[in-house]
Amino acid sequence: MTRQQLNELNDVLTPAMEVQREQVLRTRRGHERLVASGAGTEAKLTSADRILVTVLHLRKLATMDLLGQLFDTTAMTISRAAKDVRPLREAHGVHISASTARFRAWEDIARFLDPDKTEIKPTCWFPASPKCPKGPFRPQGPPPR
């Protein structure tokens, strides 16, 4: 997904997310707002962050724990964001395919983005995978649980 495509997705989904959020809050309260919009606690993730987290999660680039660390929140918040965005994304016909790269820790991302490397080797944890016919390539550290 290019930056332009992500921006277009943000432009399409953000208004729908705001409407959805207001409906959920109204249902929870049982009546219309008594205070102005924007009052109260601030959301941990902006609408754009929620969309980006969902895209990263659906591309299977990182675990929810790692996404939580990257966005300075919890895996549960990441899970809720993905759960909230998924129906809106499906309603707008946006399909996101999985990536071949997998990151489970900060070190994996740093290794992937290392500018000194001339060739990037995929992290492969499953020996039966067609991408890893000779067995798993294991980066430093233990395999994921």
Q: What is the pLDDT of residue 43?
A: 76
Closest by alpha carbon to 102, among 93, 111, 91?
Answer: 111
What confidence tens digit (pLDDT) does each residue in 107-118 have?
888 777 776 664
Lowest mean pLDDT among 27-31, 68-72, 88-92, 138-142: 138-142
Give the tokens for residue 22. Answer: 């207001």
What confidence tens digit (pLDDT) does each residue in 50-80 have?
999 988 888 888 888 999 988 999 999 999 9
> For residue 45, how many other CB atoms are within 10 A of its CB?
19
What are residue 137's DSSP bridge partners?
124
DSSP characters for 49-105? Answer: HHHHHHHHHHTT-B-HHHHHHHTTS-HHHHHHHHHHHHHHHHHTT---PPPS--B-S
